[in-house]
């Protein structure tokens, strides 16, 4: 496809909302995933430490 202007590029032939929305959702998930993984990892470590304390 050839675009004559930046506005045409961002409009993506009328599908810009879907295209850029998909990119946006993907970017948010790619940024959020490491944060969520870290939180789950810390929670798992805390659970292990608490269960070890209960055993002793």
**What is the rounded end-to-end Cα distance, in angstroms, of the chain?**
68
Q: What is the pLDDT of residues 2-48, one digit of tens each?
A: 879 999 999 998 999 999 999 999 999 999 999 999 999 999 999 99
CA 34 to chain centre: 8
The pTM assigned to this predicted structure is 0.68
What tokens does 4 get?
């004559």
The domain limits of the chain are: 15-55
């Amino acid at each position: 496809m050839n675009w004559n202007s930046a506005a045409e590029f961002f409009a993506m032939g009328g599908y810009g909302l879907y295209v850029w929305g998909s990119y946006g959702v993907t970017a948010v998930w790619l940024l959020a995933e490491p944060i969520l993984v870290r939180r789950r990892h810390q929670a798992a470590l805390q659970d292990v430490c608490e269960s070890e304390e209960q055993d002793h």
